[in-house]
Structure 1
Amino acid sequence: MSVSVQPLIQAGPTIFSHAALATCALALGIWQMLAAKGTPLHRGLGRVWVGVMAITALSSFWIHEFRLFGPFSPIHILSAVTLVSLPVAVRAARQGNIAKHRRMMRILFFIGVLVPGAFTLLPGRAMHAVFFGG
């Protein structure tokens, strides 16, 4: 398998920056899941992850490769849910409801990073071309 970022560059700045942000969210999310919780590093990287997730979700609204509902697709529903859920998850941590915070962040990682990321690997999408050519 030969990986090339050329398809992302050719897709334009919106898709390129969205993919870069999503890749950062994936890496930070994995780190946060595996690293010690409650530490200053966890809190600091958590703030960064929330910001990256919010910008990634927002940027998705300028991507219209699959149009099922006007200019939008089902993935845009996940973006909207992500934008609503991020502050709720942060508030849970600030209020000391760590169980709710943990549960929401895991769900956000799944529906905001993993599920949309899997869809980007479908044929015809830029990330499919990055990893599989074509």
Structure 2
Amino acid sequence: MVVVAVILGAALWRGWSTILALLAAARPHAPDFTLLAGLSPVIQVHLYTALAALVLGAALMAARKGRAFHRTAGWMWVALVMTTALSTLFITSLTPGRWSLIHLFTGWTLIILPLAVIWAKRHEVARHRRAMMGLFYGAFAINLIIAFIPGRTMWSLFFG
């Protein structure tokens, strides 16, 4: 968590005053569907799969583990998260044509997600649980905060 804070702080160091001014002037509104329709197909896939994974992941966290629903929905969640992560490899709007520091989360996801599936198959429940909870809470919570930084697409959809 400290590493994430340092990365975010470094990435945004010069822009804090601008971000704080935009936050102070923010006026929440319903999603701007014209902006949503104008996004590239890759960003739309990323957005829709991330939102679906967030909702399904919340249901999985609340549901009883080890049952048929958990296994079936778990495979769906893995597919959604993998699609979300892979789509980020084609999104380079922060640093046109290059990956940014945010793509470190992609690499982490692409490593941990298959390992978590392997651990579930091996009935290594504690490792599976830690990995999946880390992906759900860590990746989604942190990336959701990053997504709503003023000036980014999600900010523009709801506040811009």
Report the TM-score, using the length of structure 1 for normalisation: 0.92
Largest Rg, 1 or 2? 2
The residue number in structure 1 matching 2:17 is: none
The residue number in structure 1 matching 2:129 is: 102
The residue number in structure 2 matching 1:51 is: 79
**Alpha-carbon distance in structure 2 between the residues aligned to 1:56 and 1:10:** 19
Aligned pairs for 1:11-50 (under 5 A) are 11-50=39-78
Is 1:76 matched with 2:103? yes
Aligned length: 132
Identity of aligned residues (%): 36
Residues 50-75 of structure 1: CA deviation (Å, up to 9, x unaligned): 0110010000011112129x601111
User: Is the CA contact (8 Å cut-off) linking 1:18 and 1:59 kept in structure 2?
Assistant: yes
Is 1:8 matched with 2:8? no
SS of 1:3 mapped into structure 2 = coil
**Alpha-carbon distance in structure 1 between the residues aligned to 2:144 and 2:98:** 20
Moved over 3 A (4+): none
Task: List gaps (5 residues or longer) in structure 2.
Answer: 1-27
Q: 2:148 aligns with which of 102, 116, 121?
A: 121
Displacement, 1:130? 1.4
Residues 57-97 of structure 1: CA deviation (Å, up to 9, x unaligned): 000011112129x6011111101110111110011111111
User: Is the CA contact (8 Å cut-off) linking 1:6 and 1:130 kept in structure 2?
Assistant: no
Report the TM-score, using the length of structure 2 for normalisation: 0.77
**Alpha-carbon distance in structure 1 between the residues aligned to 2:100 and 2:141:** 17
SS of 2:127 mapped into structure 1 = helix
**Alpha-carbon distance in structure 2 between the residues aligned to 1:42 and 1:106:** 14
Q: What do you get for the CA RMSD once the two structures are aligned?
A: 1.5
Which amino acid counterpart does residue 66 of structure 2 have in structure 1?
G
**Alpha-carbon distance in structure 1 between the residues aligned to 2:124 and 2:138:** 21
Residues 71-129 of structure 1: CA deviation (Å, up to 9, x unaligned): 01111110111011111001111111111100000111133322112111011111111
Task: List gaps (5 residues or longer) in structure 1.
Answer: none
User: Is the CA contact (8 Å cut-off) linking 1:14 and 1:59 kept in structure 2?
Assistant: yes
Task: Tell which deviates more after alignment, 6-15 or 112-121.
Answer: 6-15
